[in-house]
Amino acid sequence: MKKIDYYKFIIPKTDDMRVEGLIFADDVMIKDIKKDNSWKQVANVASLPGIVGRSMAMPDIHYGYGFPIGGVAAFDLEEGVISPGGIGYDINCGVRLLKTNLHISEVTEDDVKKICDSLYKNVPSGVGSSGKINISESELKKVLKDGAKWAVQNGYGCDKDLEYSEENGCFEGADPKTLSKRAITRGRPQLGTLGSGNHFLELQFVGKIFDSDTADQYGLKDGQITLMIHTGSRGLGFQVCDDYLKVMREASSKYNIDLADRQLACAPYKSSRGQRYFSAMKCAANYAWANRQCIMSSVRETLRDIMGKRTEVELLYDVCHNIGKVEEHKGRKLLLHRKGATRAFGPGRKELPDEYVNTGQPVLIPGTMGSSSYVLKGTEKAMGESFGSTCHGAGRTWSRTRAKKSVKGSQLREELRNRKIYVMAKRMKTIAEEAPQAYKDVSRVVNICHNAGLSERVAKLAPAGVVKG
């Protein structure tokens, strides 16, 4: 790798690569990245047909399936490919940030405990968890086509919520016929559920404001209570990815696509297989938007039950982390793969809500359990440097197995409680798996993206209570 400025490292193009690789990092973080084969995955992605610009990775890069987590790649619509490994198993895993009219001074430690305990009860969590929303298969297919619109139409929120999500919470062109019976079966009972792993609900407050003008536009004030929802498409999205990896392996062979790694299995975007996967991915993405919308409705009810009926809960924004999208960049339509990366559109983009057109898109970066999270804004520089993309979180450095061997969940929970952070989880091993030590320093990741100009800091959110799956 060659350092070309303080926050950019180039992987030079070889005979096997169609374009260069580019990693955003600093001198400290690049040392860890070099120890992880994820940088080689950046080079592998650069070998795929139709790739445009550079194969990129954000500072939270770590090893993933096919593409690195933290990877970004754009493809020509005529010559390019679509790859499930470039989007991930948890399709449209994303973050939704809610803002309230409460101040941290109004919320006692006992209130935090009540809120977290109630959220744990009202929003089912954990591996394979089933929700309280019982729908038929025909109704689920409406969810897959309409996304968050279905949730709002069925009483889980209001029309205003839809304005503050990517794609207004619904991908057009999603055809449920492209999903397997297994995917449908897995998705039916899980709507409105949190899941497990790094998914969470977190009660937070605005601890620091970096950009007061943008914070005002986003409706954020010092000390304000917020709540972050982090989850995705659950078992349905996992099944879609698993099903289509088999299809893509056959397609790679059929179209004589030479793969640097078989996990990069893909099909031409315009092929029938490519379009079937894209439609199925849209269905899973719509399910995830509906899922977060239903969870948001439960959060609203919970906060109002505990803190009073006058408690206002509004959506600041909802962003995707694992997604494939057709976007226009420099007058050209491209297929963007973002895997463990966030869209960070700068000012003036027509896709943004009216209130955010002049500031740029809100970018939501969750921290680790016990660390701060961040609200950033998209920039014009990101539009030219990274196809309007930035980081998505801290990025793992330890496996879950190592974390469980190194950290005692009950002890970590007590340490966080001493810091006045209440944690509610189904199992102590879940707390151990998600220990802050298992992740990169989210502040360092955010600072790299800020200094590289991919996204700019607006506010830092401090944790008060966490609900884990």
Residues 6 or more apart whose Cβ sits within 8 Å of residue 399: none
The yes-or-no verdict on residue 136 having pLDDT over 80 is: yes
Nearest to 166 by CA among 283, 285, 60: 285
Interior angle at CA 65, CA 29 and CA 451, nearest 5: 30
Query: How far is residue 393's CA from residue 365's CA, in Å, rounded to a whole number?
Result: 5
Q: Does residue 362 lie in a domain region?
A: yes
When pLDDT is averaged across residues 207-216 and rounded to a whole number, the result is 98
Amino acid at the residue 65: Y
Q: Does residue 105 lie in a domain region?
A: yes
Token digits for 358?
């002049």
Enter the DSSP assignment of 190. Answer: G
Residues 6 or more apart whose Cβ sits within 8 Å of residue 192: 123, 124, 131, 132, 133, 156, 291, 294, 295, 298
Interior angle at CA 124, CA 119 and CA 127, nearest 5: 130
Enter the DSSP assignment of 177. Answer: G
- Residue 33: CB atoms within 10 Å: 23
For the segment 255-290, what is each residue's pLDDT rounded down to a tens digit? 999 999 999 999 999 999 999 999 999 999 999 999
pLDDT band at 426 (very low <50, low <70, confident <90, very high): confident
Q: Does residue 421 lie in a domain region?
A: no
Known catalytic residues? 392
Nearest to 10 by CA among 35, 39, 20: 20
In percent, the amount of the chain with pLDDT more than 70 equals 99
326 has which bridge partners? 335
For the segment 175-203, what is each residue's pLDDT rounded down to a tens digit? 999 999 999 999 999 999 998 888 999 99
Query: How far is residue 381's CA from residue 141's CA, in Å, rounded to a whole number?
Result: 39
For residue 160, with 0-12 CB atoms within 10 Å meaning exposed, 13-18 middle and 19 or more buried, which class applies? exposed
The yes-or-no verdict on residue 33 having pLDDT over 90 is: yes
Ramachandran assignment for 388, one of left (phi > 0), alpha (psi -120 to 50 degrees), beta (any other): left
Q: Does residue 227 lie in a domain region?
A: yes
What are the start-end ranges of the E strands in 63-129? 69-76, 81-82, 94-103
Query: How far is residue 9's CA from residue 17's CA, in Å, rounded to a whole number?
Result: 16
Task: Give SS3 for 405.
Answer: helix
Would you give the distance in Å from CA 54 to the centre of its chain? 22
461 has which bridge partners? 206, 373
Query: How far is residue 437's CA from residue 86's CA, in Å, rounded to a whole number?
Result: 27
Element spanning 130, H or E: none
Write out the residue range of the structural domain in which residue 387 sits.
Answer: 2-82+91-397+439-468
Nearest to 424 by CA among 363, 385, 469, 388: 469
Q: Does residue 434 lie in a domain region?
A: no
Query: How far is residue 404's CA from residue 287's CA, in Å, rounded to a whole number?
Result: 31
The yes-or-no verdict on residue 132 having pLDDT over 90 is: no
Query: How far is residue 286's CA from residue 289's CA, in Å, rounded to a whole number?
Result: 5
For the segment 51-78, what is each residue's pLDDT rounded down to a tens digit? 999 999 999 999 999 999 999 999 999 9
Place of tokens 């620091």: 208
The yes-or-no verdict on residue 402 having pLDDT over 90 is: yes
For the segment 329-348, what is each residue's pLDDT rounded down to a tens digit? 999 999 999 999 999 999 99
Helix residue ranges per DSSP H, 255-351: 272-307
When pLDDT is averaged across residues 391-397 and rounded to a whole number, the result is 94
The yes-or-no verdict on residue 292 having pLDDT over 80 is: yes
Query: How far is residue 32's CA from residue 28's CA, in Å, rounded to a whole number?
Result: 7
Nearest to 184 by CA among 145, 137, 230: 137
Instruction: Report pLDDT for 125.
Output: 80
Q: What total of structural domains would you count in the chain?
A: 1
Instruction: Report pLDDT for 127.
Output: 67
pLDDT band at 126 (very low <50, low <70, confident <90, very high): low
Q: What is the CATH number of the domain that holds 95?
A: 3.90.1860.10
Query: How far is residue 145's CA from residue 135's CA, in Å, rounded to a whole number?
Result: 15
Q: Does residue 125 lie in a domain region?
A: yes
When pLDDT is averaged across residues 28-35 and rounded to a whole number, the result is 92
Instruction: Report pLDDT for 197.
Output: 84
Query: How far is residue 50's CA from residue 45's CA, in Å, rounded to a whole number?
Result: 11
Nearest to 419 by CA among 380, 371, 455: 371
Instruction: Report pLDDT for 293.
Output: 98
Query: How many Å from the N-terminal Cα to the C-terminal Cα in the chain?
Result: 39
Higher pLDDT, 452 or 370: 452
